[in-house]
Chain A
Amino acid sequence: MSQRTTSTATTPRVAKRAGFVVVASLLGACIAPSTAVACDMAEKLRLAEEQKKLASRNAWTGVERSYEGMLETKCDLGFDEHFLGAESARVLGKTWEQYERLERAVAFEDKAEIREAMESIDANYGRVDIRGNPRRRPTIERPEMPFAPDQRKSIEWSQEVINNTGSFYGMLPQGNYVVGGEELVVETGDEFQVVTVGKVKGGGGPRPDGGGGGGSNDQSAINYANLVATLGPGFIGTTEGKITELDDGGHQFVPAGVGASGFAVQVGGEVGLTYAEPVAGVAAVLGYQGGYGQDTFHNVHLWVAGVVRPGEFRFALGPQYAIIAGRGTGVAEEFNRGQSQANENIPYGGLAWGPGLQTSVGYGLLDFDKLRGVVELGGSWHSDGARSYFGAGLRVGIVPTVPRFEG
């Protein structure tokens, strides 16, 4: 931790900027929660129309997407929407989802055909909750595939889900299966059969024979790795430093507390290290934050952060080391070396460096295949031993997409 400052000329001291007010405003604007989750009726109506058109063309993947989109609008759905959603789930092999949607549909109109369909599912399928290790995903096989295409699709869907996540919660045709090398007999009934395969955090269960992990797909130690880059306006400020008395009785030169707005940019990379949600990893970036005006600051820093990615959010926190170069006018109020010039008019310039902390909260908005466009709010602090430096900014940028099975 060190600082090196020099005095060059005297200038009027710049009034303290309401930096914290600005930061507070930014924070308020960005993270003020909405007071109510309103239903997006216009979007729901659009999706409902789209759902019907796609269903008439037997485009069931699209129908499924429309249905899931309608659920996200938070609007109440009607019989037709649930009905078609049940059919798209059936075509795609999502039997549990099909059953749930039939339940919702029959709550609107108690049709005998729908009840029969539900009874048929109850008579031929069992409920299973297969919990596997997302890093060491089990496989699920059925020695004798069923004749009925719907049942076959149901099994194929479970295979896809387990292959991508390691776990499966849903319905399977009754019969004999092999999951992660272990036999499983799926039986009809209202209760979910819970099956734990391999080492699962928070639960035990049978381990694959021989420790070799038969019937499983081992995942790489690295879930994902890609670029991080952000850019946006920022604010940088510093408190007034401590006055240190020198041997000659005078004060060490200390600039006043100042704030300056400018922009920030960061470039680096992020690596995902876990598979279980929320996914976690590590990011390292080299950043620059500048503030300009009567006082000018250039902050170059290296930031290594632990990253957590729940859903679309990205939380990052970790230590940073910063070197800051500043130039401006105005020294500490209490600085006194017998100068005749007013303190606020005394120019300063110099370097400071030291460790600190940085954090950011981001939200993904745009999809760029393996990268995600984010908006994030960041804040930082570091100290050179004599004063604290703060930074804040609202940035847009790109971060790696967390590979997730969307289904």
Chain B
Amino acid sequence: MNVQRMLHSIGVTALGLALTGGVASAGQISFDGDGHAETPTWSLDGKFLAFEVNRFAGSIDMFMVPIQGDVAGKSPMKLTLPGSGGGPYGGGGGAVVVNSTWHPDRIVVFEGSNQGGDYRLYYAQTTAGNAAEMIPTTDLSGNLTFPAVSPNGMVMGFIANATGNGDVYTRDTTSGKLSQLTDTRETEAFPQFSKDGKNLLFTRKQSGSEDVFLVNVGTEETKSIASGSGDQTRPNFAGDKVVYYDGARGEGIWDLAAANASGGGQTILARDVRLPTRARPAVSADGNWVAYSYADPTKDHKIVLQKVDGSKTVEIPTNHKACGDPALTEAGGRVILAYTALPDSGADWRKLHVLDVTDKL
């Protein structure tokens, strides 16, 4: 029986290898200088990738690179904040630039802070690295963070602390008008739009733990989506579900969970996943797949793609270790995965990789 079990195991492994096509060979995105690549985000058309580089000298830079298939079209362009030591058109250093999101018109929106300054929202177009401020301080002061843009580009959501510890605001693209959706003493974070732009997910830290809520942008009606002990954080829409990271099992232990977008029906999709540096769970363009990696060092050489309904799981093995920060897009009918990872051996910086996984699905 042991032999039968062993043969069965070999067969499964062979089948698994056959299904995954062996070890994946990804294109690596190089960038200037040293640092850990983090938090890649795709433009909505899958043609551009924004990512962070943590220099560990008190600064985090953001780069933007065109992608053709699974290779970089040219060298990544660094985004510069206005006033970052080089006058209005930047050029200096010492800034922290994080949390990118994309508008359909290939405009990347992100939060950034010059050294010692408030966090503000900026935007840059793919034609130049010079960023400009989205909302001037005269319109709304304080820290503005966590930008999110509706898929149709008509509304931008973000968090502002001008009125508390962090409330959800929106900016209407047509009128430029700012609206405040939440007004509480708790800290809100991680806004994320539904596909139709009518609803906005966010988290609220209350009674010591973070829970997931949904607000209707038009009526401001709010309802609970996921709650429990520990933190339920970084929600993202996936079809008619909401996927999020669940820390109910204790400090530093994270599971990938799902709930109904209408509330309730909380389920665990995967246990002991690696919590990305800043990102939400990566969801495919059609909302059917979610990507994650494992915290377990014995399993962290692969990225896992799982159907949100749990019906199928695909493992993408790599030549790296500590894989993380997965991001999915679809371009030209192909499904492209971006992720960060450390080299398999030796000490080095975390690099950014891009891989066409269409055939794996």
Contact = CB atoms under 8 A, between A and B. Distances in A.
A117 interface: yes
B75 interface: no
Interface string A123-148: 11000000000000000000011111
Given A113-B80, A148-B107, A120 B125 contact: yes
Instruction: Summarize B's interface: helix, strand, loop or mixed.
Output: loop
A2 interface: no
A114 B87 CA distance: 11
Nearest to B154: A147
B173 A145 contact: yes
A8 interface: no
A53 to B, nearest CB: 15
Instruction: Summarize A's interface: helix, strand, loop or mixed.
Output: helix
A187 B173 CA distance: 22
B2 interface: no
Contacts of B125: 120, 123-124, 148
Interface residues of A, number: 23
A290 B88 CA distance: 62
B176 A149 contact: yes
Nearest to B124: A120
A199 to B, nearest CB: 33
A86 B86 CA distance: 15
A116 B129 CA distance: 7
B132 A150 contact: yes
B123 interface: yes
B137 A58 contact: yes
B127 interface: yes
A124 B128 CA distance: 11
A83 B173 contact: no
Interface in B129-175: 129-130, 132-137, 149, 153, 156, 173-175
Contact of B130 (A84, A113, A145): A113
Interface in B265-303: none
Contacts of B135: 149
Contacts of B133: 149
B89 A124 contact: no
A119 interface: yes
Contacts of B80: 113
Contact of A117 (B128, B134, B153): B128
A251 interface: no
Contacts of A83: 87-89
Given A84-B88, A113-B86, A148 B123 contact: yes
A152 interface: yes
Given A111-B91, A145-B174, A116 B130 contact: yes
A147 B128 contact: no
A117 B137 contact: no
B105 interface: yes
B103 interface: yes
Contacts of A384: none
A87 interface: yes
Given A147-B107, A148-B125, A113 B174 contact: no
B51 to A, nearest CB: 19
A149 B127 contact: no
B90 interface: yes
A54 to B, nearest CB: 13
Counting chain A CB atoms within 10 Å of each CB, the highest count among B89, B103, B134, B173 belongs to: B89
B82 to A, nearest CB: 8
Interface in B246-270: none
A390 to B, nearest CB: 60
Interface in B107-132: 107, 123, 125, 127-130, 132
A147 B88 contact: no
A170 to B, nearest CB: 18
Contacts of A90: 88, 132
A145 B153 CA distance: 11
Nearest to B137: A58
Contacts of A114: 89
B173 A113 contact: no
A113 B107 contact: no
Contact of B127 (A58, A86, A124): A124
Nearest to B130: A117
Interface string A104-116: 0000000101101
B153 A147 contact: yes
A144 B174 CA distance: 7
Contacts of B132: 90, 148-150
A120 B137 contact: no
A239 B176 CA distance: 72
A124 to B, nearest CB: 6
Interface string A85-102: 011001000000000000
Contacts of A116: 89, 128-130
Contacts of A87: 87-88
Nearest to A115: B128
Contact of A147 (B89, B91, B103, B127): B103
Contacts of B105: 146-148
B304 to A, nearest CB: 34
Contact of A111 (B89, B103, B123, B129): B89
A152 B136 CA distance: 14
Nearest to A142: B174
B173 A147 contact: yes
Given A146-B105, A147-B123, A147-B156, 20 more contacts: A86-B88, A90-B88, A111-B91, A113-B89, A113-B90, A116-B89, A116-B128, A119-B127, A120-B127, A123-B125, A123-B127, A124-B125, A145-B173, A145-B175, A146-B173, A147-B103, A148-B105, A148-B123, A149-B123, A152-B176
18 contacts: A58-B136, A83-B89, A84-B88, A113-B80, A113-B86, A113-B91, A116-B89, A116-B128, A119-B127, A119-B128, A120-B125, A120-B127, A145-B175, A146-B105, A147-B123, A148-B107, A149-B133, A149-B135
Across chains A and B, which 4 residue pairs bring their CB atoms closest together, nearest first? A120-B128, A87-B88, A113-B89, A123-B127
Interface of A: 58, 83-84, 86-87, 90, 111, 113-114, 116-117, 119-120, 123-124, 144-150, 152
